[in-house]
Amino acid sequence: MKLKELESCLQQVDGFEEPKILLEQYPTSPHIAGCMLYTIHNTFDDIQHKLVADLGCGCGVLSIGAAVLDAGLCVGFDIDEDALDIFKGNVEDFELSNIDMVQCDVCSIGSSYAKKFDTVIMNPPFGTKHNQGIDMQFLQTAISMASTAVYSLHKTSTRDHIQKKANDWKVKMEVIAELRYDLPASYKFHKKKSVDIQVDFIRFTPT
Amino acid sequence: MKLLTHNMLTSHVQGVTKGYPLIIKATEVKVNELEFNAQFVSRMIPKLEWKALIQAAEWLGQSQDLPSTPKPNYESVEDFLRKVHRILLEVEVVEGCLQCPESGREFPISNGVPNLLLIEDE
């Protein structure tokens, strides 16, 4: 499947109806999701016939993409029932059978799923809404869950901090790409029409 | 909820040390076809808690001659792999609950999604 086809396909994925600010619910655009998944699949072969986890899956755009790219099974984890309902609807619309989902608090998972998944993919909350440090909690959990690799998006401004943590956790960190995350005004308090945030698309692997 | 997912789930209720496997109490189960891939199923088998899988299959009345341990050289036994494929990936619990074997706390499953959220003091 070509990147354009994948993006076009992901445009059909329904997003949040009433995004919850405190959970930092922003949709991952079909373009960003497409780029991520395309790379994970074509460059690293970490999706097809693999057991994939999507942490903070929201409405499921990354999971849907992974399933379309023939993941053995993709399991989405999210705390919000409303998002998971929309995710369910998306799974039905796309008629996908290789998806499952669990409602839970990713920050409380600990090491229950240690190395159970081949690959973890995520666009975690960045920690901008009274939840500072949540991105690192997600990352730490993801690393414990994945036996092969973790693919994640993080603010470029936090790159050095993440590198230090990666060293502490003895994982190799590779910035695959720098992306501009274009967030259209999705909440009433947003003054600008859209804002560009620089994010790193990073791959973490055990050393 | 598929049984491959269930095989990984554990109870986080405070103080619980034996929160696995979660007991399945299903009120609605369905079978959803998924394309068979021998390679994927073979790779999943060593990651599984096999006894928990057999137990889960029994709770759902889907044991269908699954052996008590995986067959030797299972990678090349297609019949066996297809049975495992079905139980791991095609049988789904739509409604019911998961019960922590130690605390008895029940986690609901609705519309195929288990809810493992705990309230603050649990």
pLDDT in tens, A170-189: 999 999 999 988 766 556 56
Residue A11 has pLDDT above 90, yes or no: yes
pLDDT in tens, B94-121: 999 999 999 999 999 999 999 999 987 7
The token pair at B29 is 């189960």
Q: How buried is residue B118: exposed, middle or buried, by Cβ count under 10 Å (0-12/13-18/19+)?
A: middle
Q: What CATH number did the domain enclosing B47 receive?
A: 2.20.25.10
Report CA torsion sign: A171, A26, A105, A101. Answer: negative
Distance (Å, rounded) from C-alpha A1 to C-alpha A66?
A: 12
Instruction: Please give, rounded to a whole number of angstroms, the shortest distance from the CA of A202 to a CA of chain B.
Output: 26
Residue A144 belongs to a domain: yes
Residue B119 belongs to a domain: no
| B52 shares contact with chain A (CB less than 8 Å) | no
**Could you list the residue range(s) of the whole structural domain that residue B55 is in?**
3-114
Residue B22 belongs to a domain: yes
- The model's confidence at residue A90, banded by pLDDT at 50, 70 and 90, is very high
Helix H, strand E, coil C: the string for chain A is: CCHHHHHHHHCCCCCCCCCCHHHCCCCCCHHHHHHHHHHHHHCCCCCECCEEEEECCCCCHHHHHHHHCCECEEEEEECCHHHHHHHHHHHHHHCCCCEEEEECCHHHCCCCCCCCEEEEEECCCCCCCCCCCHHHHHHHHHHHHEEEEEEEEEEHHHHHHHHHHHHHCCEEEEEEEEEEEEEECCCCCCCCCEEEEEEEEEEEEEC
Smallest CA-to-CA distance from A122 within A6, A204, A10 is with A204
| B119 shares contact with chain A (CB less than 8 Å) | no
Residue A71 has pLDDT above 80, yes or no: yes
Contact check, Cβ <8 Å, B5/A112: no
| A43 shares contact with chain B (CB less than 8 Å) | no
A81 chain-B contacts, CB cut-off 8 A: 115
Burial B47-85 (b: 16+ CB within 10 A, else e): ebebebbbbbbebbebeeebeeebbeebbebeebbebbb
The token pair at A46 is 């970490």
Average pLDDT over residues A89-99: 97
**CB neighbours (10 Å) of residue A107?**
14
Cβ atoms of A162 and A203 closer than 8 Å: no
B4 chain-A contacts, CB cut-off 8 A: 51, 73, 100
**Domain total for chain B?**
1
pLDDT in tens, B15-32: 888 899 999 999 999 999
Instruction: Please give, rounded to a whole number of angstroms, the shortest distance from the CA of B2 to a CA of chain A.
Output: 7
Q: What CATH number did the domain enclosing A57 receive?
A: 3.40.50.150
Smallest CA-to-CA distance from B70 within B99, B89, B50 is with B50
Distance (Å, rounded) from C-alpha B73 to C-alpha A92?
A: 37
**ipTM exceeding the 0.90 mark:** yes
A111 or B105, higher pLDDT: B105
Contact check, Cβ <8 Å, B8/A112: yes
Residue A3 belongs to a domain: no
Residue A191 has pLDDT above 70, yes or no: no
Contact check, Cβ <8 Å, B4/A85: no
Contact check, Cβ <8 Å, A88/B4: no
Residue A91 belongs to a domain: yes
| B112 shares contact with chain A (CB less than 8 Å) | yes
Instruction: Give the nearest chain A residue to B107 (CA atoms).
Output: A103
Average pLDDT over residues A101-130: 90
pLDDT in tens, B40-99: 999 999 999 999 999 999 999 998 778 888 888 887 889 999 999 999 999 999 999 999
Contact check, Cβ <8 Å, A103/B5: no
Residue A1 belongs to a domain: no
pLDDT of residue A197: 86
pLDDT of residue A92: 96
